[in-house]
Amino acid sequence: MSEFVTYEKFATIGELKEFVELLQENNIPYELEDDIQLLDASFANPNHHRDYRIKLQQADFESVNELRNSIALLELDRVDPDYYLFDFTDEELIDLISKQDEWSPFDFQLARKILKDRGKEIGSQQMDELKNSRIKELATVEKHSIGGIVSGYILTAFGGVLSFVIYGYISTLLVLIGLIIGGYIVSSKKTLPNGERIYTYDDSDRKQGKIILIIGAPMLIISVLIRLWGTLEFLSSF
């Protein structure tokens, strides 16, 4: 079965419910997740800001986009004449269309209509070019900050060395933080508008992350063992 990946985040239950109903009406499988699920329940409260994530299978991304765009088309006739997009220049509207993933289906379709009314209609071929160009732009892997990578090395190495000096939890905590940094660099991924999942960072940075993990894993074991040894010595003194 295809992996479910985040399609969009919703800030309110109302927006979420409307979208879920659309998926159910068209028999499109989905998964729901919200940021509170990722936190300890003791931190949850009714006033906490929530992001509700809808996850879809990659194969359904395009069909869902088409569904939402077709619905948005039906709403264009009811648009307020003072709607802010009417003040956009042609260049701004084209930029909006090229970055469809950052805008609502309604704004996307309205931008196309405004350009068409101005005699600047964007044809299907140009739309495909804009879409492909956007995918290519977003698919460019990033460079992690040098400071983050250096911090990962320092925390894992220093934490491991520190465990030989003191028995406190601080050394283990430092190593753990370093391992988290390394693990994030290695495994972090981002979702493209077409549902494809790619690694966030380039191969060189991910290699550095793996080295941090290689250094940090034995350091963590050493730190824990030394901590246990210190605890046993303390208990045996009674």
Lowest-pLDDT range, 23-32, 91-100, 121-130, 167-176? 167-176
Q: What is the pLDDT of residue 88?
A: 97
Q: Are 69 and 109 in contact (CB under 8 A)?
A: yes
**For the residues 50-78, what does the mean pLDDT come to?**
91
DSSP SS3 for 59: helix
Domain boundaries, the chain: 1-64, 79-138, 146-236
Is pTM beyond 0.75 here? no
Token pair for 227: 């901590």
From residue 107, how far is each of 39, 72, 79, 88, 210 by CA, in Å? 34, 8, 10, 12, 42
Residues 6+ apart with CB under 8 A from 212: 149, 152, 153, 156, 178, 179, 181, 182, 185
From residue 8, how far is each of 14, 21, 48, 64, 180 by CA, in Å? 14, 15, 19, 11, 26
Token pair for 175: 């190593």
Cα–Cα distance, 147 to 107 (Å, whole number): 39
- Across the strands, what pairs with 189? 199
Provide φ and ψ at 123, rounded to 5°: -75, 175
Provide φ and ψ at 53, rounded to 5°: -100, 130
Buried b (16+ CB within 10 A) or exposed e, 90-107: eeebbebbbebbeeebbb
Q: Are 111 and 88 in contact (CB under 8 A)?
A: yes
Token pair for 49: 């800001």
Q: What is the pLDDT of residue 229?
A: 66
In this predicted structure, the answer to whether residue 38 has a pLDDT above a threshold of 50 is no
Which tens digit of pLDDT belongs to each residue from 205-237?
999 999 999 999 988 888 777 766 666 555 566
Token pair for 217: 């894993």
